[in-house]
Structure 1
């Protein structure tokens, strides 16, 4: 009897009329897990785990079943799942003796947050930079702070180039965006570059126009680059892709290629200062114009300028100098020297001619990264001159930058 009375003392929670009425509305406002919207015909993570044998990308070396399982049931608001992120590295597995590629691409900006334990390890492995929540990536477009970039020894330097990629907020990245998004991005770019042409006259070309040679243009593109085909970025080619060229030839801006925008300044001399200045000035101008259209470039305090490839987050900047090096490339210490200088060397296809560029894009600002290339190339040229005279270069080997 006592138990029965005790049970009746436990009253059910009171339901208020308004609470009953508005509960469905309130529940509908709660954010849903995007993955719950899909009906993907997938097996378990163990059965879906990709074959990474002979995969020479950083993704192939970092990914294991435990990490794959953690990412397996996650999806961004735009529908990017982890298999989308790693697919580029499964399509292009890299070379055993070639430079390591990251083997992955973000489908949107949220990918870097949702799959952060994977992307942070990729960034750390590629750039040698540890991503932390309290880190702040700095940016510096003051080209006057660059020292010595206006002159290289003409007997050794063939050309130079500075490029920078940007992603536009509220759009998926090229590997994942829809045709509609790509066309919207193209329309935005046309609006912005028409205004940019008021200060730097230039002309907009569709990819269809680039397939035919013309006297007023130096770029011909008959088909998409193989790198875009392998990563899936060349979908719907050539729909929505374009190139803007300044009339003086100082600047090219690619639209909807590897990134939403890529600014490139190429010079057939060694004046890296002018190429860097051109990119800095026009990056700042285009950023202002995109902000006016309420579509700023994507920036995250701990990653800097966010783009689709983790190999280019931070500044999105690549500075390259083409140099003649006949003796240094035969030296056994070259790989260690490049590592100490934080530089990358790539063959051009011409004997004795190499591209020297920054490997890292995060952890330094734009001026600092370009300064690394300037100082590094000048040091490599000094070493080359020493070796031409059969002299030692041991005293020139730098400490780690």
Structure 2
């Protein structure tokens, strides 16, 4: 459920907005509202909503500015809204609720209980390795009672790194591996991990504008097993990104590994969660299951008809991105295609939605259907 403290705080309109912060909030609102931005924050930050929210804060002291500053700095944002802490979803619900409902096609009163199901229900959807280059499934987690990245102090980063690294270093079996703090990785090692799509990198302008990249590289790092099929990022955009990946299209193996890792970590620490929105993360696109299941897939025929590609993907609530992910272009007709919905469905349902959609895309690619 939503934090009772946050609900009382929001109803009472608590907040001590300093004049200089109030001026920045007003300027950010004007920048967004007077722009031609197509972002969801532009659509849902109405004058009425702005007036309700401009003078309040969360119990941790987050303001409307913390939520919208990235959208104001990047008017080409698709969403443009970040949560600086878990209570922002409650305190600023007049903005978050309609935006979340639209992005996730979420019409329910609450997110369903977590259900990973049986990974055996899935299989290798491209056993000939003709189309799918790699499969990757990840989920995000935030540790309860800590602010999210936009409001974390340097000490928060250090403390969370210590807590999480102790947990991941206790994995056994296939998941067992080693944690590497970012500040101890030599530049060549770090760049190799980035180039091979194992490690995040600094400098994303959307995250930077949201104040998510402060104190870099303090408190950041990567854990991985020897085969690099199981990875945990610490303090990138969220406190944790838990990732399972491998070459080819064996969704069952990838999903099984992620399920085991996520369930184990839940025994080690308590995550930010509520009944309405499930697991809470910095970006409202990642709440709910926080599952993003994706493939790198070669679709030369469909690439020639991007409208058809997008239309088929849309039927299954899939998102088509460039080869290097969000805000990039396709290279050699290879796309990053993933489930768009993370909220209002279980983990198992999210994987099934992606699996069914990719099967349909492969069918159209093989048939040459226009």
TM-score for both structures, normalised by structure 1: 0.80
The alpha-carbon deviation at position 46 of structure 1 amounts to: 6.6
Matched residue SS, 2:147 = coil
Going from structure 1 to structure 2, the CA distance change for 1:74 and 1:374 (only over 3 Å counts) comes to same
**CA distance in structure 1 between the aligned counterparts of 2:128 and 2:213, rounded to whole angstroms:** 39
| 1:140 equivalent in alignment to 2:115 | yes
Matched residue SS, 1:320 = strand
Determine if contact 1:211/1:222 at 8 Å carries over to the other structure.
Answer: no
**CA distance in structure 1 between the aligned counterparts of 2:25 and 2:151, rounded to whole angstroms:** 22
Q: In terms of mean alpha carbon deviation, does 250-259 or 223-232 score higher?
A: 223-232
Q: What are the equivalent positions in structure 2 for 1:6-45 lying under 5 Å apart? A: 35-41=14-20, 42=22
Partner residue in 1 for 2:297 = 323
**CA distance in structure 1 between the aligned counterparts of 2:244 and 2:24, rounded to whole angstroms:** 48
**Per-residue Cα deviation, 1:297-342 (whole angstroms, up to 9, x for no partner):** 1111111111111001100110001111111233343332221111
Matched residue SS, 2:71 = helix
Runs of at least 5 residues in structure 2 that lack an aligned partner in the other structure = 1-7, 324-329
Q: What are the equivalent positions in structure 2 for 1:1-400 lying under 5 Å apart? A: 35-41=14-20, 42=22, 49-52=29-32, 53-94=35-76, 101-130=78-107, 132=109, 135-144=110-119, 146-149=121-124, 151-197=126-172, 200-214=175-189, 218-219=193-194, 224-227=202-205, 228-290=207-269, 296-331=270-305, 332-348=307-323, 349-387=330-368, 392=369
Structure index of larger Rg: 1
Partner residue in 2 for 1:10 = none
Determine if contact 1:46/1:65 at 8 Å carries over to the other structure.
Answer: no
Partner residue in 1 for 2:5 = none
**Per-residue Cα deviation, 1:62-97 (whole angstroms, up to 9, x for no partner):** 212211111111100110011110111112222xxx
Paired residues in the alignment total 347
**CA distance in structure 2 between the aligned counterparts of 1:169 and 1:47, rounded to whole angstroms:** 32
Determine if contact 1:150/1:273 at 8 Å carries over to the other structure.
Answer: no
**CA distance in structure 2 between the aligned counterparts of 1:45 and 1:376, rounded to whole angstroms:** 41
**CA distance in structure 2 between the aligned counterparts of 1:156 and 1:365, rounded to whole angstroms:** 27
Determine if contact 1:109/1:172 at 8 Å carries over to the other structure.
Answer: yes
Runs of at least 5 residues in structure 1 that lack an aligned partner in the other structure = 1-29, 95-99, 291-295, 394-401
The alpha-carbon deviation at position 169 of structure 1 amounts to: 0.1
Matched residue SS, 1:195 = coil
Determine if contact 1:253/1:264 at 8 Å carries over to the other structure.
Answer: yes
Matched residue SS, 2:130 = coil
The alpha-carbon deviation at position 379 of structure 1 amounts to: 1.0
Determine if contact 2:66/2:84 at 8 Å carries over to the other structure.
Answer: yes
Going from structure 1 to structure 2, the CA distance change for 1:222 and 1:127 (only over 3 Å counts) comes to closer
Matched residue SS, 2:149 = coil
Partner residue in 1 for 2:3 = none
The alpha-carbon deviation at position 39 of structure 1 amounts to: 3.5
**Per-residue Cα deviation, 1:237-290 (whole angstroms, up to 9, x for no partner):** 111111111123221101011100001112122112111111110000011011
Partner residue in 1 for 2:4 = none
**CA distance in structure 2 between the aligned counterparts of 1:288 and 1:45, rounded to whole angstroms:** 40
